[in-house]
Structure 1
Amino acid sequence: MKVKVKSWTMAAYWSWNDTNSDVCGICQVEFEGCCPECNMPGDDCPVLWGECSHAFHMHCIMKWLEKATGNPQCPLDRQLWKTATAPSQ
């Protein structure tokens, strides 16, 4: 049996899932490297996580928040920025 398709409609679903990303959402440099403010990667350029699960180089998010007018927001989802605390062990 042969089937002849007269027309078809393509559908797709797209979502931005960057919670597992290995790059800073602001400067787009890998976390293993360093932000544009630093000369060398390491402890001087730590990664900060927000309660919204987005991560940024410390210097990048601090600069972003300094420029913010009003309530500080996450650059990726515009939720109120709150730095996540480390889980207690």
Structure 2
Amino acid sequence: MKVHIKSWKGVATWSWDVPKEEVCGICRVSFDGTCPACKYPGDECPLVVGECTHRFHVHCISKWLNVETSKNLCPMCRRRFQTKQDGDIKADTSSAMGSVVQQGASTVLDGAQYPSM
């Protein structure tokens, strides 16, 4: 008996390479979901990894760092927040709410430059 496939519809899923139980430390939403500013997960709502290894949605951490009282500190460990140079999650993103860009020894969020220590 031979079987001939007439049509096939592939289905796929994706997820970030982080533990399933890990959530954004600011909005407390799973990384497979979206931050409150986004409609759809994925490239438009990437993750940012800090030198301290804490992960956040790009929009959440950019809002956090733009608040004066944050003093550019990680909301989880209170160390100066710097994006990890060799982060295990890489995403090049630009959106209406902000972007994270590495420039030499400093981190730029929403056009404001935060020098590395």
Scaled by the length of structure 2, the TM-score of the pair is: 0.54
Secondary structure in structure 2 of the residue aligned to 1:48: strand
More strand by share: 2
Give the equivalent residue in structure 1 for 2:10.
none
Q: How many percent of aligned residue pairs carry the same amino acid?
A: 49
- How many angstroms does 1:22 deviate by? 1.6
Deviation at 1:68, TM superposition (A): 3.1
Residues 27-82 of structure 1: per-residue CA shift (max 9 Å, x gap): 00000011000011110000101000100000000000000347410001110010
The yes-or-no answer on 1:81 pairing with 2:81 is yes
| Larger Rg over CA atoms | 1
Question: 1:12 maps to what in 2?
Answer: none
Deviations 1:8-40 (A, max 9, x none): xxxxxxxxxxxx652000000000011000011
- Tell me, yes or no, if structure 1 residue 37 matches structure 2 residue 37: yes
RMSD: 2.0
Letter in structure 2 aligned against 1:34 = T
Give the unaligned 5+ runs of structure 2.
Answer: 1-18, 88-117
Deviation at 1:85, TM superposition (A): 1.6
User: 1:45 is paired with a residue of what secondary structure?
Assistant: coil
Partner of 1:57: 57
Q: How many residues are treated as equivalent by the alignment?
A: 69
Provide TM-score, normalisation by structure 1.
0.70
Query: Structure 1 unaligned runs (5+)?
Result: 1-19
Structure-2 change in CA distance of 1:52 and 1:41 (3 Å): same
